[in-house]
């Protein structure tokens, strides 16, 4: 199993670009082969970290990864396994690695930015933002096969926690928050307890501010000091063609707003394919079942069949066997990664009426008596082979 990229970098799915960069630097330094000579494990790790960073630092790749996992970014090492699967030469990785840091550096200095990676000391806990992180929101989105075939843009109305407009999300009536008097903004307190075993220092979330580092003097009355309230918003989501039931799309920071100015969570749109009344789906192909009369199968005919893009004329050639799959190219489902479409297959079968008139009964009796229409009259190997082949396609 290939490791989750977020896991490799040790960041959450809602991590900002900055978080990702920081995590990458730290790990890259830790596992850099210069620091771990002749250590195969470290080298493996270093490659893993680089691969994860390459995807997560690129907005486009990250979006595809969120949506479709490793398959969405088609990474060169996607096959995982023990051996290194093809792909990037380690020297390429190194040059990309140092480029990244030298880009940030004005001349001189360590190419790997030690000072950044180690962190500038001080009391901050690396909390970049205020408030509390909002929660992720998951919704289901039903899609018809027609929508999946071409891709679709949907406008969704969702109920969620939104920023309180009265206090601008601060939770404070006056709009002013102040550094917590108990922890002085650190968000955590040190408690020293003396016991018979010695002195213990315990670091805990500040009880006054709950770890936020800031307090409110006068609470906003509209949101009771939370900075958020229930609201309804419209969200646009672009669904590419070729998605499958259970795929999901992550809309970053479109989930619940965070209390008191915290970062919003993500909105996760889980896709659901509504079964079609006419077609069944087989990957990128759609299958339509068609029944015609025995005479039509033997003599051949032209019929009109529905497709996802409207009715088309289809020729049923003479001597078509039951369960033959006739292909209509290009009328299937668009491929996920652009370029190309699946086909429509028409599975032809013989229609057997349940109820027939006296006249038709007499007609069929004649047919029944006609020796040329019975299989015993033929040793039709070719037809038999065709029949077997057609059955094999989707059985
Ligand atoms: Zn408010
Ligand atoms: Zn505090």
Cα of 223 vs centre of ligand 2, distance in Å, is: 21
Backbone angles phi, psi at 103, to 5 degrees: -60, -30
Q: How far apart are CA 343 and CA 321, in angstroms?
A: 21
Q: Kindly state the average pLDDT of the residues 223-239.
A: 94
| Per-residue model confidence (pLDDT) at position 87 | 35
Q: Give the rounded percent of residues in the chain with a pLDDT score beyond 70.
A: 81
User: 220 C-alpha vs ligand 2 centroid, how far in Å?
Assistant: 19
The pLDDT assigned to 315 comes to 97
Per residue in 319-329, pLDDT (tens digit) is 999 999 999 99
CA neighbor of 136 nearest in space, from 15, 8, 3, 271: 15
Band of residue 383 on the pLDDT scale cut at 50, 70, 90: low
At residue 94, does pLDDT exceed 60? no
**pLDDT tens string 168-220:** 999 999 878 888 999 998 888 888 888 777 888 888 889 888 888 888 889 99
Interval between CA 266 and ligand 2 midpoint (Å):
27
- Cα(29)–Cα(11) distance, integer angstroms: 16
Would 128-165+227-275 and 279-394 be classified into the same CATH topology?
A: yes
**What pLDDT does residue 20 have?**
87
Mean local confidence (pLDDT), 127-147 = 87
- According to the model, what pLDDT value does residue 125 have? 34
Out of 39-48, 230-239, 284-293, 314-323, which region has the weakest mean confidence (pLDDT)?
39-48
Confidence band for 111, pLDDT divided at 50, 70 and 90 = very low
- Phi, psi values for residue 301, rounded to 5°: -165, 175
In this structure, the number of other CB atoms found within 10 A of the CB of residue 243 comes to 23
Residue 224 C-alpha to ligand 1 middle, in angstroms? 7
Q: What are phi and psi of 251, to 5 degrees?
A: -100, 105
Structure token pair of residue 301: 């005919």
pLDDT at 49 over 60: yes
Identify the pLDDT of residue 123: 31
CA dist 55 to 44, 75, 91, 208, Å? Answer: 17, 9, 18, 40
The rounded Cα 69 to chain-centroid distance in angstroms is 6
Closest CA relative to residue 8, chosen from 26, 348, 17: 26
- 123 CA to middle of ligand 1, Å? 29
Please state, in angstroms and rounded to a whole number, the distance separating the CA atoms of residues 135 and 125: 21
Mean pLDDT (the chain) is 81
Identify the pLDDT of residue 127: 43
Average of per-residue pLDDT across 128-148: 89
Give the domain 128-165+227-275 fold.
Answer: HSP40/DNAj peptide-binding domain (2.60.260)
**Which CATH code fits 279-394?**
2.60.260.20
Mean pLDDT throughout 51-58?
A: 86
Distance between Cα 212 and ligand 1 center (Å): 17
CATH topology for 5-118? Answer: Helix Hairpins (1.10.287)
- pLDDT at residue 392, rounded to an integer: 57
Q: Collect residues with CB below 5 Å from ion ligand 2.
A: 180, 182-183, 206, 208-209
DSSP SS3 for 205: strand
Scored b (16 or more CB within 10 A) or e, 298-309 reads eeebeeebebbe
Structure tokens at 49: 């970290």
Q: 96 C-alpha vs ligand 1 centroid, how far in Å?
A: 46
Kind of pairing, strands 267-273 and 137-143?
parallel
Arithmetic mean of pLDDT, 267-277: 96
Reduced to 3 states (helix: H, G, I; strand: E, B; else coil), residue 92 is helix
Domain boundary assignment for the chain: 5-118, 128-165+227-275, 279-394
For position 377, what pLDDT does the model report? Answer: 65
pLDDT, average across residues 89-98: 35
pLDDT of the residue at 136:
96
Q: How confident is the model at residue 99 (pLDDT cuts 50, 70, 90)?
A: very low
Global pTM value:
0.58
Which is more confidently placed, 66 or 244? 244
Q: Is the predicted pLDDT of residue 272 greater than 90, yes or no?
A: yes
Dihedral in degrees, nearest 10, Cα atoms 253, 257, 261, 263: -30
CA of 171 to the centre of ligand 1 (A): 5
Give the CA radius of gyration of the chain. 32
Q: Which residues, 6 or more positions from 30, have their beta carbon under 8 angstroms from its beta carbon?
A: none
**201 CA distance to ligand 2 centroid (A)?**
17
Q: What is the pLDDT of residue 42?
A: 83
CA distances (Å), origin 346, targets 49, 144, 286, 314: 48, 20, 9, 9
Residues of the chain above pLDDT 90, percent: 46
**Cα-to-centroid distance, 269 and ligand 1 (Å):** 28
Strands 188-195 and 267-273: unpaired
Q: 346 versus 109: which is more confidently predicted?
A: 346
- Using 50, 70 and 90 to split pLDDT, how confident is the model at 384? low
């Amino acid at each position: 199993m290939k490791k989750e990229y977020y896991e490799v970098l040790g960041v959450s799915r809602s991590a900002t670009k900055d978080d990702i960069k920081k995590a990458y630097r730290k790990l890259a330094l830790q596992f850099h082969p210069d620091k771990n000579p002749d250590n195969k494990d470290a080298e493996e790790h270093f490659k893993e970290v680089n691969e994860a960073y390459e995807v997560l630092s690129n907005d486009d790749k990250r979006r595809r990864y969120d949506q479709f996992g490793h398959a969405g970014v088609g990474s060169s090492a996607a096959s995982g396994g023990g051996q290194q699967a093809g792909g990037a030469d380690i020297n390429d990785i190194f040059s990309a690695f140092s480029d990244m840091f030298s880009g940030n550096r004005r001349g001189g200095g360590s190419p790997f930015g030690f000072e950044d990676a180690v962190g500038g000391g001080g009391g901050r806990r690396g909390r970049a933002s205020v408030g509390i992180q909002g929660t992720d929101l998951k919704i289901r989105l039903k899609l018809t096969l027609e929508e999946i075939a071409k891709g679709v843009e949907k406008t969704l109305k969702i109920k969620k926690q939104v920023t309180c407009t009265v206090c601008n999300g601060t939770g404070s009536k006056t709009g002013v928050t102040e550094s917590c008097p108990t922890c002085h903004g650190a968000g955590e307190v040190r408690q020293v307890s003396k016991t018979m075993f010695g002195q213990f220092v315990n670091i805990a979330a500040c009880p006054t501010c709950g770890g936020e580092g800031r307090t409110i003097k006068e609470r906003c009355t509209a949101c009771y000091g939370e900075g958020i309230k229930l609201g309804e918003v419209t969200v646009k989501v672009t669904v590419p063609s070729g998605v499958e039931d259970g795929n999901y799309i992550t809309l970053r920071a479109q989930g619940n707003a965070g209390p008191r100015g915290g970062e919003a969570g993500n909105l996760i749109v889980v896709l659901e394919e509504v079964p079609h009344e006419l077609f069944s789906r087989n990957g990128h192909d759609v299958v339509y079942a068609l029944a015609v009369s025995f005479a039509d199968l033997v003599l051949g005919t032209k019929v009109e069949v529905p497709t996802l893009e409207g009715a088309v004329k289809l020729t049923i050639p003479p001597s078509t066997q039951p369960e033959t799959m006739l292909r209509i190219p290009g009328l299937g489902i668009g491929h996920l990664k652009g370029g190309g479409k699946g086909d429509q297959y028409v599975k032809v079968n013989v229609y057997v009426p349940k109820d027939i008139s006296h006249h038709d009964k007499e007609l069929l009796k004649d047919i029944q008596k006609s020796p040329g229409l019975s299989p015993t009259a033929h040793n039709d190997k070719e037809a038999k082979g065709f029949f077997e082949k057609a059955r094999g396609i989707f059985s």
